[in-house]
Chain A
Amino acid sequence: MNITSSAVPIKLDNVDTDQIIPARFLKATSREGFGDNLFRDWRYDKENQPIEGFVLNDSKYTGEILVAGKNFGCGSSREHAAWAIADYGFKVVVSSFFADIFKSNALNNFILPIQVSDAFLGYLFEAIEANPNLEINADLKTQILSVPSLGMSTNFEINPYKKECLLNGYDDIDYLLALKEVTQVYEQTHIYAGV
């Protein structure tokens, strides 16, 4: 995963999953099509007209990287939030803090959540505002997020296991299924197993 793209900034803290994808859109039974309702109530008014001023409706801002304020993805555990972000076309979300479940949902859907310092996030917002076409690079292999034209860069953390999964395109279930026998041995002596 090595992505170079302009970014879409959402300069708000505590963006919760009810905003990312409101509950009334959770009725689908497949994973596809959620992108149309990403940030639905910030994006469209009651008559389904785009709300002017919301960043997804502003053609200045495009790209595969979403940059958002602190505590992104808090609230409900709905994976639909990650599906909506992926379906819309984002591959990377940058914030100074992610809610736990969102982070894990994102990784399970091959979206890279990159946590940066509050200060770096602040520069990033300013730089994007000054130049909406600003190119940002997220390189999973080196774990570096950079803005080459400004000479700005920062390292980011990612768990080595998840990195391996993302780089190789395999997921948790593949890994767990390979441990089937170990689990069966465990179950033989476990108090709550085997009902």
Chain B
Amino acid sequence: MSSTTPKTLFEKIWDKHVVQYKEGYPDVLYIDRHFIHEVTSPQAFDGLRKRGIGVAKPKQTIATADHNVPTKNQHLPIQELLSRHQVDTLIQNCDEFGVELYGLGHEKQGIVHVIGPELGITLPGMTIVCGDSHTSTHGAFGSIAFGIGTSQVEQVLATQSILQYKPKTMRIEINGELGRGVVSKDIILFIISKISASGGTGYFVEYAGSAIESLSMEARMTICNMSIEMGARGGMIAPDQTTFDYIEGREFAPKGEAWEEAMAYWSTLKTDEGAQYDKVITFDAKDIEPWITYGTNPGMGIGISQEIPELAVNSTEKDMEKALGYMGLDKNQLLKGKKIDYVFIGSCTNSRIEDLRMVAEFVKGKKKANDVNVWIVPGSKKVEAQAIAEGLDKVFTEAGFDLRQPGCSACLAMNEDKVPEGKYCVSTSNRNFEGRQGPGSRTFLVSPLMAAAAAVTGEITDVREMI
């Protein structure tokens, strides 16, 4: 390929990171930053020990404890023995292999996809991996970021590179202005229900268009975060002034001369005129309303004014029957007015300071419905501190919300934050799989605004009627 061939943003970054290309073999891709956490790393460190090797580039690896940690009394030893063992194993491994750990109690601790960006570790043009599928979040900065399995965690620890086949590219364009009460979470839930939970498989997605460009960095992260929920390898957004303004001054962001150099590189990070994608899909922002899932995969979603369909895109009768049976719902049913039991505001999709501000602004002066439990879990210690500094904690407490300490919490219910069997939870997280929030739990995925509205009314509510 000559240097004048127009390239997509994805191709530019990918090509720059290929250490070795060999016909018929996967590319050897260099990895700039590697995030690890307690759940998917222990077996990888074990592997290194068995091979008798160390971590190739310990300074390019950053660890935190998030999946398993309690969200109450984090200063006390973890009660649950297996969780404690996993967190302790991470501490030992990081110590033994010289990896920086922002563990429980550390002021930089938090959900791995929240802390990377907020510390300025995540930068445009990087390749970033983590043993967690929502690594796609970091793509909001114009980086190639994707989730990997534990064997691959071991690969990266051992060699700072990974074997990968180049995926196909897809461009998803959203143009126009978002309606009242519609936020970035609604955009991504909308996209996934249009193309289904497998519609992105094999592709790396670039989101573009005026509706995307108008979003803040945190809102962009919410979109890229859920790319995996349509099966895509990852999602990315070209960096622009919004991106640079967000990064400037963050702890690990380049400074002085290094900043100038970085900016010069970052300004080249956009798709060239005439570059080809394998697939292009365009949507109009005006078709997006507050969105909600009704089924057991994120592709089973509808606008709040719509009825549950006969069949979700790319789904079968049998799937639908099973999903609706599990959820205790029927075809052609409206969700509005459905009583709920829990509200969870948190997860790497929606637990950043803007999400908390959005919720606080809405609930200020209001109270949660009596029979609803509301958990609000900040994404990191920094988000928690900022929320307290802004007095958001008081707003939440006055509304009767249970403000907890940072971690993944009820997003995957590995700690004790579990939604009981059969109960309905309106959640800002990213997965509504059977049992995801606890065995037998039933999840409705929504935006933070829709979650806040449900918390106040105790039922599924169209937030537009309250603002």
Where the two chains meet, the residues of A that have a C-beta atom closer than 8 Å to any C-beta of B are 11-14, 16, 18-19, 22-24, 26-31, 41, 46, 70-71, 74-80, 82, 97, 99-101, 104-105, 108-109, 159-161, 171-173, 175-177, 179-180, 182-183, 186-187, 190-193, 195
B414 touches A24 (CB 8 A): yes
Are A71 and B439 in contact, CB atoms less than 8 angstroms apart? Answer: no
- Chain B residue contacts of A191, Cβ below 8 A: 125, 261-262, 265
Interface 1/0 per residue, B124-152 and A, CB below 8 Å: 01100001110000000000000111111
CA of A128 to CA of B210, assembled, Å: 52
Per CB-CB distance, the 10 closest pairs between chain A and chain B, nearest first, are: A79-B149, A29-B42, A108-B151, A27-B82, A192-B32, A105-B149, A77-B147, A77-B133, A79-B150, A176-B159
Across the interface, which residues of A come within 8 angstroms of B318, CB to CB? 11-13
Chain B residue at minimal CB-CB distance from A31 = B43
- Partner of B413 from the list A24, A75, A80, A190 (CB cut-off 8 Å) is A24
Kindly list chain A residues whose C-beta atoms are within 8 Å of the C-beta of B68. Answer: 27
B158 within 8 A of A: yes
Asked whether any CB of chain A lies closer than 8 Å to the CB of B85, the reply is yes
Closest to B86 in A: A27
Question: What is the minimal beta-carbon distance from A160 to any residue of chain B, in angstroms?
Answer: 5
Judging by beta carbons under 8 Å apart, are A18 and B436 in contact? yes
Q: Is the CB of B414 within 8 A of A23?
A: yes
Taken together as a complex, chains A and B put the C-alpha atoms of A177 and B159 apart, in Å, by: 6
1/0 per position for B35-62, CB-CB distance to A under 8 A?
0000110110011000101000101100
* B1-45 Cβ-contact flags toward A at 8 Å (1 or 0): 000000000000000000110001110101011000001101100
Listed residue (B60, B297, B433, B439) with the most chain A CB atoms within 10 angstroms of its CB: B433
* B319 at the binding interface (Cβ < 8 Å): yes
Question: Please, how many angstroms separate the alpha-carbon atoms of A160 and B86 in the complex?
Answer: 37
Q: A14-B297, A18-B433 are in contact. Are A173 and B412 (CB under 8 A)?
A: no
CB distance from A19 to the nearest CB of B (A): 6
Q: Are A180 and B159 in contact (CB under 8 A)?
A: yes
Any chain A CB within 8 A of the CB of B434?
yes
B282 part of interface (Cβ distance < 8 Å): no
Q: Are B151 and A193 in contact (CB under 8 A)?
A: no
Evaluate contact between B20 and A179: CB separation under 8 angstroms: yes
- A181 to B150 CA separation, bound complex (whole angstroms): 24
With beta carbons under 8 angstroms apart, the residue of B152, B162, B262, B322 that contacts A12 is B322
B304 sits at the interface (CB 8 A): no
Please measure, in the bound complex, the distance between the C-alpha atom of A19 and the C-alpha atom of B105, giving whole angstroms: 32
Give chain B residues whose Cβ lies under 8 Å from the Cβ of A97. Answer: 198, 201
Q: Closest B residue to A190 by CB, please name it.
A: B30
Q: How many chain B residues touch the partner (CB < 8 A)?
A: 74
Interface residues of B in 232-266 (CB under 8 A from A): 233, 261-262, 265
Are the CB atoms of B198 and A173 closer together than 8 Å?
no
Instruction: Confirm or deny: B123 has a beta carbon within 8 angstroms of a beta carbon on chain A.
Output: yes
Total A-B residue contacts, Cβ distance less than 8 Å? 184
B198 touches A74 (CB 8 A): yes
Known contacts A100-B233, A175-B163: does B265 contact A29 (CB below 8 Å)? no
**Contact check: which of B30, B47, B59, B83 meets A195 at CB < 8 Å?**
B59
Please determine whether A77 and B131 come into contact, CB atoms closer than 8 angstroms. yes
* 8 extra A-B contacts, CB within 8 A, seeds A41-B435, A79-B43, A101-B148: A26-B67, A41-B439, A78-B149, A100-B233, A105-B151, A108-B152, A173-B154, A187-B30
- In the complex, the answer to whether A172 meets B40 with C-beta atoms within 8 Å is no
For A179, what are the chain B residues with a Cβ–Cβ distance below 8 Å?
19-20, 28, 159, 161
Q: Which residues of B contact A187 (CB under 8 A)?
A: 30, 160
Provide 27 A-B residue pairs closer than 8 Å at the C-beta atoms, listed in order of the A residue: A13-B318, A18-B435, A23-B413, A23-B436, A24-B413, A27-B82, A30-B43, A30-B46, A71-B197, A71-B201, A74-B197, A76-B132, A78-B149, A79-B43, A80-B150, A99-B198, A99-B231, A101-B148, A101-B149, A159-B24, A173-B47, A173-B158, A173-B159, A177-B159, A179-B28, A182-B20, A193-B160
Partner of A176 from the list B28, B148, B315 (CB cut-off 8 Å) is B28
Chain A residues with CB under 8 Å of B181's CB are none
B203 to A, closest residue via Cβ:
A100
Contact: A176 with B439, CB < 8 Å?
no
Distance (whole angstroms) from the CB of B323 to the closest CB of chain A: 9
Query: Do B158 and A177 touch (CB < 8 A)?
Result: yes
Q: Mark B183-204, 1 if CB is under 8 A from A, else 0.
A: 0000000000000011001100
Q: Tell me if B152 and A176 are in contact (CB < 8 A).
A: no
Minimal beta-carbon separation of B294 from chain A (angstroms) = 15
The 8 Å CB contact of B201, one of A30, A99, A176, is A99
- For B422-466 the 0/1 string (1 means CB < 8 A from A) is 000000000101111001000000000000000000000000000
Contact partner of A27 (CB less than 8 A), chosen from B43, B159, B414, is B414
Considering the chains assembled together, what is the distance between the CA atoms of A182 and B163 in angstroms?
Answer: 14
Contact between chains at B86 and A193 (CB < 8 Å): no
| One of B30, B46, B149, B413 near A183 (C-beta < 8 A) | B30
Instruction: Report yes or no: B319 in contact with A12, Cβ–Cβ below 8 A.
Output: yes
Decide: A77 and B132 in contact? CB cutoff 8 A: yes
Q: B322, A183: Cβ atoms under 8 Å?
A: no
Chain B residues closer than 8 Å to A79, beta-carbon distance: 40, 43, 131, 149-151
Residue contact B43 to A29, C-beta cutoff 8 Å: yes
Pairwise interchain contact A75-B133, C-beta atoms closer than 8 A: yes
Flag if B435 contacts A161 (CB, 8 Å). Answer: no
Contact assessment for A22 and B435 in the assembled complex, using a CB-CB cutoff below 8 Å: yes
In the complex, what residue of chain B is closest to A32 when comparing beta carbons? B43
Cβ contact of B151, chosen from A12, A172, A180, A192, cutoff 8 A? A172
Nearest residue in A to B25 (C-beta to C-beta)?
A161
Asked if residues B86 and A29 are in contact (CB atoms below 8 Å), the reply is yes
Q: CA–CA, A190 to B53, complex, Å?
A: 24
In the assembled complex, the Cα of A183 lies from the Cα of B261 at a distance in Å of 23
Q: Does B271 contact A (CB under 8 A)?
A: no
